[in-house]
Each structure stands twice: as C-alpha cells, then as structure tokens.
Structure 1
C-alpha cells in the first residue's frame, strides 16, 4: 500500500490531486458543461441529474446545431446561463419557452444567453467549481484557458486544446486543476494513486485497434469511409471514429499523456487491447503494473471527472466476474498505422508541431470522407505537412492559430483543392 505522504496519491504532472482545486470538499458542486449536446455532454447531464445532491449545472454551451436538445437541457437542469456559437439567441429562448411549457414550467426559465464564436469561452469564465470541456476540436483551446483563468477545476474531454496549446495550458494550470476525462488518461490518473511520482517507470496506453486491426498496409489501401466508421466498440462522431481507424486518436492521446503527467514521450507505450476493458496501465519501477478495468464506456471517466477525487456511486454497472472472458494484447503495427510514430515526432518537437499534426489530420479526414483521397493518404499527407513546418516565435494562442491556418492551407494545396 502507498504511504500516507501527500505524493502517495498524487499523479505526476499537472493532473488534479486528491482534495485539490476549487471543486474539492463535500459541498454541492456547480458545473458548467461545454459541448453539452454532444456525446460527452449528454452523458454528463445524465450523471448530474442522477446525483442532484452532489452536482448542479449552472451553465451550458453548445455549437447551436441542435437548439431543441439544448433548450431541453436548459429546462432539465435549470441552467442560469447558456451559450451558442451559431444561430439566433431569440430562437433559442423560444425553444426554451417551448421546452418549459412541455415540462409544465412555463415562464420559469429565462437564462442569460451568450452568443457568438466566443460564447463557450464566456461560459467557461463564469467560475463554476467544475468546467467540463466536451467541445470537439482545437476550438476548445480558448474555453480551456478561460476555465483555468477563472480558477475552475477543468474536467478535460477536449484533448485537442491541451495538445495544440501545450505549455500554454500546462503553465496556466495550477497544481490539481486539470482532471482528464478521456478514458485512457482517467485510467492512468486512477492507477497512479497506487504509487509515488518517483516510482513510475512508464505509462501504457491501450488501443482497441479500430475496425482495421490486423490488416497490413496494402490491405488498407482501398478501405472505404463507411468501413472506417464501423468502430467495434463505440458510436462516436465522424472525426473521432476515423481517428480511431487511422490510430491518429491514439497518437493524440500519447501527446496528451506526455503533457498531463509530465512523463517523457519515450516512457509512454501503446498496446492494442481489442476488448477495451483495460483502459490503460502504469508500470512502476519494481515491475508492478497497475491497470484500471471497467466496461468500455465513458460513464466512469465522466463521473470521476466531475467528482474528482471522489467517486460517484453506481456510475457504471460492474463487470460480472462469474462469466468467462478472454482479453487480448497485441503490439501496435507501426508500419500499417504510422500515426503514433508521427505523433511522437510532433510531441517531441513541441511548440506548434502538435497543432500542425492535428489540423492537417482534420482536413485529411474531411477529404477522405468526401472521396478525394484514400485512407493511407491521411497519414502520408500529415507526414508531409509536419516535415515542411517550421515553428516560429514564442508559443501563444496567436502562433498556435497561425500554425493551424498554415497547416490547413498547405494540406489543401497537397490535396489539390486550391
């Protein structure tokens, strides 16, 4: 058992330590949900509604593409503020009025409405105990920084904001302010409680292998977008599911683990575990390996992200150990799936290279689904764009955004779209 000193239960790096941050303590926590109508956001709403004595949602933010769903959430949780990036604020209030009438609470919901591309950042800056950033893509960077600056505990599901922001985010985060919500990084944070910082030898990130696990590079040449979206375990959005097929998602997670836990890139391994019951592992200096095991869902990471360091009872159904099961582990085929190697290169270079990796990939994914390029071209173009990039100047939000603009433009040139 670890000893009772403070570092015995504190993960290395910048992740939240037990009893740390403004969300600590036993009071009912206020929560702001960014990306509330997406998969992470809707599950977080369910966690909050199932635990009204522990959490209270005070603010929501979403892109604005599903106004009825957002309005229903406002009424369901009684949010005092809501933000939309696009759409008409008046139309949102009308939808809220309709949802309130349907719930038998007509006229009771008149939240403050923020509107425009910075709406999520303004919602993040409100100063809730916990801000869960479930926005998809690097547009989550400014809301991430706003939440940190407001002193909120940041439950981070938006990996891209950390990856492209790098030291901008880690320098901004106070000790114990970042809580990972990605299942792999939540697993690592949980496993790290088993030892002290100096006892960690390496991190082991697990991967499902995606829909093309076991195929050679030649066998991947003619796979279709529909096949790439057939993930064996999860139903996710188009970009994330495609990233799981290319293993770009796992490359991003290696960079994220490096930044979250302050562990060198060469001390982070990836192993294919198709069943995804072991979410990730930590190897300690004595050879012991501690793993976090659970069903292949996001229920526990989301609940723990909101409640860290305290667990939320009954967040997920436990595994039935009376039933036989076989779990496999396989090495990652870097030749067929070079995305992780490229991510290590970008993460080791630091600066704006991870932002270029992410932006080039997003453009390639869109081109792949539009039928303009084949599956293998995604990582081939990422490699080309990375090799041409030259980081210039001190890292800032502006230099990150400029690097992303350059990467997208250069990717479009290579795609033959300009």
Structure 2
C-alpha cells in the first residue's frame, strides 16, 4: 500500500483526495492529515482513515481535537508542525494547502525524498526554480494535481520533448466570460463565486473569475514542463471538457478530455503512471456534448492574466509579489472591502512598487511575501 500524507485535507482538493482513497482503499494508507480551522471535518476524517499524525492551526485547535480522539494520534501545530509531518514515514505527500503556506513543507518533503502530488499553485509560482532544482537533485516524482497540468502530462507521454511546439492551457472563462470592464464595476462576491463548471474553494473560485488562476497555471507550466513562457498559450474553452493540449512541431495537437471532475486528475497523480477508476466519476457522453467552442482570452478586461505573464517574464521575486498581492486582494474582496476590479489594481500597484530581486533564496521569498502583504494591509485595513 502507498502511504500518503495529505496537507490540507479539509479543503476542496484534500476532501476529494480522500474520496479517491476511499474508492481505492486497498491501494492507499493515510498516515498523516492536516487541517486548519475545520476541526469537526478533520475529526471525521481521523475517525475514518485513522492517521498516525495530524497538524492543526494552533494549540487551541489541538486541545479541541484531543478532547475527541484517542492518544494514539500525534497532534502537532502550526508551521513547525507542517515541516515535521512531512518527515514522517510516507511514500507521497499531497500538497493541497491554500496559498504560500504550502511552500516550506513542500521543500522539506522533497528534501526527505518523498514523491509530491501538487495542488498548491503558489509553490511553483513563488519558488519554481528553487523547487524544481531540488526535485532534480533528489530525483523524486513531482506530479501535478491541477486538471490542466495533469492533462499536459498525459498529452506528453510517449512523445519527445524536442517535438513540442507549445502548451495550450484551457480556461473556462469563469462566471464573467464575455463581459467588459464597465459591466464588472459592481459585481458582488456571490456573483463572483458562481463558477459555471467547477466546485472549488473561495480563493481559487475568485482567481478563476479574474483569470489570475490561469496566470498562475501558466507560471506553473513553465516550471513543471521546463518550457519557455512564450511557448505557453491560453485558450478560453467554456465547456471545460478539454483540460489542456500539447501542440507538436508537425502541426498535430493532442488533447486530454474528460468531465470536469478533479478526482480524475487526483487519481492520476496518486497512481502515476497507472490509471484507476474512482467510484462516482462519470464518463464523457459524446452524443450529448454538443459543441466544443474556443475563444481568445480578453487580456484587457481580465488584466490579472497579463500581470501574471508580466511578472513571470521579469522573474526573480516578482511572481512572489504577484501571488502575495493577489491573496490579500482576494481576501479583501471576499470581505467586501474592495471592488472586483480593484483586485487587479492592487496587484499592479504592488508589482510597480517592488524592487525586483533575481535568484532569491527561500528566505528572500518568504520575506518579500510578508512585506508585500503588510504593505497592502496597512493601506486597505485602516
């Protein structure tokens, strides 16, 4: 049995990962789980999967958990707990934490020689070069959980790297596809959270609405597949049936299609290079699909996508600023403290005021992340 540690088990991806494990219970053993605030859900997961070790936000949450479970489960807390849990005996660490919180434990897990199944975009967005150099050094499996990058991985199999012309990431366009800036001035949080195809956490759903999510995926793809930024394109595909494509030098394009269900990408990462059916996943019905359509992304209205390309081209600590500013701006929007369009304005301002640092260390990245957050919060939380 493959032993798993799941970072962020109470979130959307973490919960769906446990769905996969539940369906393939003879193949996986969950040895570690981490939650943050949702102790009731974490408690149910502990009782079902019986991990040896868990991590929660702080001592208060740990006491809440201890009152409800036996002494045979080790409970750790905070950032140090996240670093410690990935040192525990396991074959693979599933990284499904929200935001930059996943960076340090991912790096530590790689140093420990564990395989990684990555759902946390911020790991490669902020520290792609550091992480991928470490992956090569340790010779570990480093696999994507994002449906887009999973699709690319599948489309690349059996083909030569030198034959790749470009990677084509598909985007649903989110709930505001086709709208112009004037129409987005007064959108509400509730409207922005109504994604047409995917059920996701609030942060990633807002990022999908601004297209920043796709910008992050472009940066991720650059590192995952070691391909120049100018060979990565975005195509809006509203149906979310084609999850991404690879174009080859002879003009051929290979695409991966499936229903929009994250469990397909999750099982592929957990079982790679094999495939397993997960109970409840539907197969495509081509007779009822109708049309598959494609559009150019609107870089002017959805400026976050162009800002992501800009930050990626500059490199250094610019992607870290991009990510930190986006996390704070999205949080402010979800609290109704700023408008939808102000999200991109805050990010652009943060990038323009940052003095870029090339070849940053992990400490540099963490420092720039914190400074960016504090600067924005100081301005908007008066």
Structure 2 length-normalised TM:
0.95
User: Which residue is equivalent to 1:145?
Assistant: 107
**Cα RMSD over matched residues?**
1.6
Deviations 1:5-33 (A, max 9, x none): xxxxxxxxxxxxxxxxxxxxxxx211111
Shift of 1:275: 0.8
Distance in 1, matches of 2:208 and 2:15, equals 21
User: Which residue is equivalent to 2:271?
Assistant: 307
Counterpart check, 1:281 vs 2:245: yes
User: Which residue is equivalent to 1:167?
Assistant: 129
Distance in 2, matches of 1:183 and 1:76, equals 27
Shift of 1:371: 2.8
Residues 3-402 of structure 1 mapped to structure 2, 5 A cutoff: 28-63=1-36, 65-86=37-58, 87-97=60-70, 110-174=72-136, 175-314=139-278, 316-392=281-357, 394-402=359-367
Distance in 2, matches of 1:90 and 1:412, equals 31
Distance in 1, matches of 2:306 and 2:288, equals 37
* Residues paired across the two proteins, number: 378
Relative to structure 1, is the Cα distance of residues 236 and 392 closer, same or farther in structure 2, using a 3 angstrom cutoff? Answer: same
Relative to structure 1, is the Cα distance of residues 74 and 314 closer, same or farther in structure 2, using a 3 angstrom cutoff? Answer: closer
Distance in 2, matches of 1:274 and 1:196, equals 30
Distance in 2, matches of 1:173 and 1:127, equals 19
Structure 1 length-normalised TM:
0.87
Distance in 2, matches of 1:330 and 1:127, equals 47
Distance in 2, matches of 1:324 and 1:359, equals 39
Equivalent of 1:403 in 344, 364, 368: 368
| Contact persistence 2:316–2:358 (CA under 8 A) | no
| Contact persistence 1:39–1:236 (CA under 8 A) | yes
| Contact persistence 2:113–2:140 (CA under 8 A) | no
Distance in 2, matches of 1:110 and 1:392, equals 46
| Contact persistence 2:333–2:343 (CA under 8 A) | yes
Distance in 1, matches of 2:372 and 2:335, equals 19
| Contact persistence 1:125–1:149 (CA under 8 A) | no
> Aligned to 1:96, what secondary structure does the other structure show?
coil
> Aligned to 1:250, what secondary structure does the other structure show?
helix
| Contact persistence 2:114–2:140 (CA under 8 A) | no
| Contact persistence 1:67–1:95 (CA under 8 A) | no
Larger helix share, 1 or 2: 2
| Contact persistence 1:194–1:290 (CA under 8 A) | no
| Contact persistence 1:148–1:177 (CA under 8 A) | no
Shift of 1:324: 4.4
| Contact persistence 1:93–1:110 (CA under 8 A) | no
> Aligned to 1:166, what secondary structure does the other structure show?
helix
> Aligned to 2:17, what secondary structure does the other structure show?
helix
Deviations 1:42-62 (A, max 9, x none): 111121122122111111111
Q: Structure 1 unaligned segments of length 5 or more: list them.
A: 1-27, 98-108
Relative to structure 1, is the Cα distance of residues 202 and 401 closer, same or farther in structure 2, using a 3 angstrom cutoff? Answer: same
Shift of 1:71: 1.7
